[in-house]
């Protein structure tokens, strides 16, 4: 298969075209019931959201530690870690303004389920970490946008709209890094597999006032 065919395969996997920024397509949409659950218990959601932002920064720094010899990845993950911590700080301000506080971390069943599908092998491990991180960001893009659309408070609507824009940029970053280090066709095929896995996980999990 030639290079152009590879690009078309990847575009199909990401619902893009060879001339558009690549973006991960979710295999299943979040249900309206999730939005209702979150808005009904928004304080609980905010605490989970803060934890997710902090963990996202930790993922980025972990990638730096694991791949110090990959200059572009290190630079991109350093920027990402700083941005995620900035989001964490913003959510903390919202939490404190509402008179609540952080609670001890709980396990994220969605992320843990995805991580079970990370394969061994130097290339496979790198690719799966990047694409799973991209899928998590893609789901965050969708769900932050839903909160921005349905939340009644104007300040929160604007905040979550901005976060959705950031998450969309982050998911493209992870795909671009995957393409930098792994052949296009391999990225496309694995992305299709992981999109299906992610959709099954989302469908199987119970609703809760949490990002995932």
pLDDT at 166: 97
pLDDT above 90 coverage of the chain, percent = 87
Q: Which parts of the chain have pLDDT scores under 50?
A: 1-21
Token couple for 77: 């993950």
User: What is the pTM (predicted TM-score) of this model?
Assistant: 0.89
At 63-107, the pLDDT tens digits run 999 999 999 999 999 999 999 999 999 999 999 999 999 999 899
């Amino acid at each position: 298969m030639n290079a152009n065919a590879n690009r078309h395969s990847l575009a199909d996997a990401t619902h893009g075209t060879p001339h558009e920024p690549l973006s991960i397509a979710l295999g299943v949409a979040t249900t309206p019931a999730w939005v209702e659950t979150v808005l009904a218990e928004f304080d609980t959601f905010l605490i989970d959201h803060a934890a997710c932002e902090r963990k996202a920064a930790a993922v980025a720094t972990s990638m730096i530690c694991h791949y110090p010899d990959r200059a572009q990845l290190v630079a991109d993950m350093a920027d990402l870690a700083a941005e995620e911590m900035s989001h964490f700080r913003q959510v903390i301000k919202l939490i404190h303004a509402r008179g609540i506080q952080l609670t001890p971390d709980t396990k994220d069943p969605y992320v843990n389920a995805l991580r079970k599908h990370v394969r061994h092998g130097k290339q496979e491990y790198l690719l799966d970490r990047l694409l799973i991180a991209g899928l998590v960001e893609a789901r965050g893009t969708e769900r932050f946008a839903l909160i921005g659309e349905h939340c009644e408070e104007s300040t929160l609507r604007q905040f979550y709209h901005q976060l959705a824009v950031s998450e969309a940029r982050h998911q493209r970053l992870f795909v671009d890094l995957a393409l930098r280090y792994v052949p296009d066709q391999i990225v496309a095929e694995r992305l299709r597999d992981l999109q299906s896995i992610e959709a099954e996980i989302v469908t199987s999990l119970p609703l809760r006032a949490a990002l995932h």
